[in-house]
Amino acid sequence: MTAPASSPAAAAPATGDKPPAIRLPAVHLILSDPGCQPLIEQYGRVQTTDAARALLAELRAMLLAARRDDGAGAPASTATAGFEASVARSSAAAGAPPEIAGLLVMLAERLQQANRSHLRAVFNLTGTVLHTNLGRALLPDSAVQAVAEALRWPMNLEWDIDTGTRGDRDNLVEELLLELTGAEAATIVNNNAAAVLLMLNTLALGREVIVSRGELVEIGGAFRIPDVMTRAGAVLREVGSTNRTHLKDYAEAAGPQTALMMKVHCSNYEITGFTKSVELPELAPLARQHNIATAVDLGSGTLVDLEQYGLPHETTVRETIAAGADLVTFSGDKLLGGPQCGIIVGRADLIAQIKKNPLKRALRVGKLTLAALEPVLALYRAPDLLPERLTTLKLLTRPASAMRAQAQAILAPLQAALGAAYAVSAEPMTSQIGSGALPVDQLPSFGLAIRPTGKASNALGKLEQRLRALPLPVIGRVAHDALWLDLRCLNDAQQEKFVAQLQQLQQTMQAPLPAQGRA
């Protein structure tokens, strides 16, 4: 930004003591200009007028400040730098007000910026398929269409079409869930954290829940089993040690004060070495002897054996029910591949109690979630077709050769866009499933590694920032002095958009870095 701090408009010769007025067009002149009409049509007269006023006020303040500096060339602040350049561009002659056309360009930019959605599509090239910060599972088209329809139409959300009477929203997916898990009953809430909270609050309010010390999990984003337990009004009874818990530890802790024996999936960590944990087939019979229910927080909660698709084994919900769990809680948007929700399945009498808890009303899901969930669950009726149809599984089972072909196709245009300051190469890398599913398992993948060629300071950080500033931000991973773009989650349609956007990247490589922070 090398525009002079003092624009010609501000540097007009003074007459007498009083400096000349800053000459800017009146708001009504801008609004009545034919060039403003499309803006008024798109954004409305109120918003356009307000934005024009704000623009003129800032412009005036800036011109005044520039005059105070008396053309001394005070350094432009980042906030006003672009602004000044525009003023300089649009000031046709000394003393002339910035042209209306120039102001309209600035006005359009501002309105567009202010109306840009904060929730935006990005390229997930992090290599983490179920990335919590990027919204976890992507849904199949059948679910997308069902959600669109539910947005446009009234739905029988709580209406039994057969009887013409009030229905229960859980019933819309319960039958499918029972079929897929072998459980007696099911209920749906906002997410798995809510499922655990609701289950504990219903069944263990003021009573003890026995959990192994090795399973006191913290999931990213402040979900900790001990904290949820407290908030649910339950009393945590820790047993065993971090690395070893035996059946007798559970047996000794059980008593009249015990409401539940609970097992928690160690989603995002693994304890190895000298370890011992009590598995459900051992624990459930002990709990039953004491007339205590067993609950399992399965976390990811997969509905099929993933080994049949060449992925590592993850205990399924059906296996957990079959092994004697009275209740199982799991997420809808992790390995299941559906919308964000928490699913509780298990014994009919316990689910009935949970549904009566007033908290259920506070944690229930809306019609969009149920619209998306049903078609996703329905896909599981054809497990042989699942890798083609369920987006999450499709991404997880993509062979590295597919990503390698993509990497080779993208390499040259990306290198051209980045220029000589960076070297791009196609390299093998490893993806993760993410969201705490199978944390130690890595999936062989392929992608692009970008390394700075020179010694410029923070070249990777700057590149990462430029990629984020694109209309479709590109999110990669910086590690070992390179920026890694794992192509596992880039489908064909997205690849086209990625390549199309490289031209824009090339242009911005020459421009100064965009300002950081929320626009």
Ligand X SMILES: *Cc1c(COP(=O)(O)O)cnc(C)c1O
Beta bridge partners of 426: 448
Minimum distance from CB of 467 to ligand X (Å)?
A: 27
Single out the segment in contact with ligand X by CB under 6 A; choices: 41-49, 185-193, 280-288, 358-366: 185-193
Alpha-carbon separation of residue 471 from 42, 95, 249, 422, 474 (angstroms):
20, 37, 56, 21, 9
| Closer residue to ligand X, CB minimum distance, 258 or 300 | 300
| Closer residue to ligand X, CB minimum distance, 126 or 192 | 192
**Interaction between residue 315 and ligand X (CB under 6 A):** no
| Closer residue to ligand X, CB minimum distance, 67 or 263 | 263
Token pair of 314, please?
A: 């993850």
| Closer residue to ligand X, CB minimum distance, 187 or 435 | 435
Residue-wise DSSP of 27-63: HHHHHHSGGGHHHHHHH-HHHHHHHHHHHHHHHHHHH
**Interaction between residue 314 and ligand X (CB under 6 A):** no
* 185-189 vs 258-264, strand pairing mode: unpaired
Token pair of 295, please?
A: 């609950």
**Interaction between residue 434 and ligand X (CB under 6 A):** no
Minimum distance from CB of 193 to ligand X (Å)?
A: 3
**Interaction between residue 302 and ligand X (CB under 6 A):** no
Name residues contacting ligand X, limited to 257-296 (CB under 6 A): 264-265, 267
- Contacting residue, 100, 122, 218, 223, with ligand X by CB under 6 A: 223
Minimum distance from CB of 511 to ligand X (Å)?
A: 39
**Interaction between residue 398 and ligand X (CB under 6 A):** no
- Contacting residue, 219, 443, 448, 467, with ligand X by CB under 6 A: 219
Minimum distance from CB of 332 to ligand X (Å)?
A: 7
| Closer residue to ligand X, CB minimum distance, 433 or 489 | 433
**Interaction between residue 309 and ligand X (CB under 6 A):** no
Residue nearest to ligand X (CB): 299
Chain centroid to CA 369: how far? 16
Minimum distance from CB of 215 to ligand X (Å)?
A: 9
Q: How many residues at the interface with ligand X, by CB under 6 A?
A: 17
What is the spatial distance between Cα 310 and Cα 413, in angstroms, rounded to a whole number? 33
| Closer residue to ligand X, CB minimum distance, 331 or 445 | 331
Token pair of 370, please?
A: 């149920």
Single out the segment in contact with ligand X by CB under 6 A; choices: 69-77, 189-197, 255-263, 369-377: 189-197
| Closer residue to ligand X, CB minimum distance, 63 or 219 | 219
Q: Identify the residue whose tokens are 């410029």.
A: 456
Minimum distance from CB of 119 to ligand X (Å)?
A: 18
Token pair of 173, please?
A: 């997916």
| Cα–Cα nearest to 234, from 269, 259, 215 | 259
Residue 127 near residue 429, CB atoms below 8 Å: yes
Name residues contacting ligand X, limited to 332-361 (CB under 6 A): 342
Within 8 A by CB and 6+ apart from 320, the residues are 280, 296, 298, 328
Token pair of 499, please?
A: 């390549």
Single out the segment in contact with ligand X by CB under 6 A; choices: 41-49, 62-70, 178-186, 215-223: 215-223
- In the DSSP assignment, the letter for residue 220 is T
Minimum distance from CB of 334 to ligand X (Å)?
A: 6
- Contacting residue, 188, 217, 287, 482, with ligand X by CB under 6 A: 217
Beta bridge partners of 449: 425, 484
Minimum distance from CB of 295 to ligand X (Å)?
A: 12
- Contacting residue, 86, 90, 124, 191, with ligand X by CB under 6 A: 191
Residue-wise DSSP of 349-381: HHHHHHHHSHHHHHH---HHHHHHHHHHHHHTT
Name residues contacting ligand X, limited to 4-33 (CB under 6 A): none
- Contacting residue, 193, 210, 328, 418, with ligand X by CB under 6 A: 193
Alpha-carbon separation of residue 104 from 25, 37, 44, 95 (angstroms):
11, 10, 15, 19
| Closer residue to ligand X, CB minimum distance, 48 or 191 | 191
What is the spatial distance between Cα 479 and Cα 484, in angstroms, rounded to a whole number? 7
**Interaction between residue 436 and ligand X (CB under 6 A):** yes
CB-based burial, 277-293: b 16+ in 10 Å, e otherwise: bbebeebbebbeeeebb
Instruction: Label residue 410 left, alpha or beta by phi (over 0 means left) and psi (-120 to 50 means alpha).
Output: alpha
**Interaction between residue 301 and ligand X (CB under 6 A):** no
Instruction: Label residue 517 left, alpha or beta by phi (over 0 means left) and psi (-120 to 50 means alpha).
Output: left
Minimum distance from CB of 73 to ligand X (Å)?
A: 54
**Interaction between residue 124 and ligand X (CB under 6 A):** no
Measured at the CA of 218, the angle between CA 303 and CA 129, to 5 degrees, comes to 45
Measured at the CA of 374, the angle between CA 371 and CA 379, to 5 degrees, comes to 135
| Closer residue to ligand X, CB minimum distance, 223 or 309 | 223
Interface with ligand X (CB under 6 A): 191-193, 196, 217, 219, 223, 264-265, 267, 297, 299-300, 331, 342, 435-436
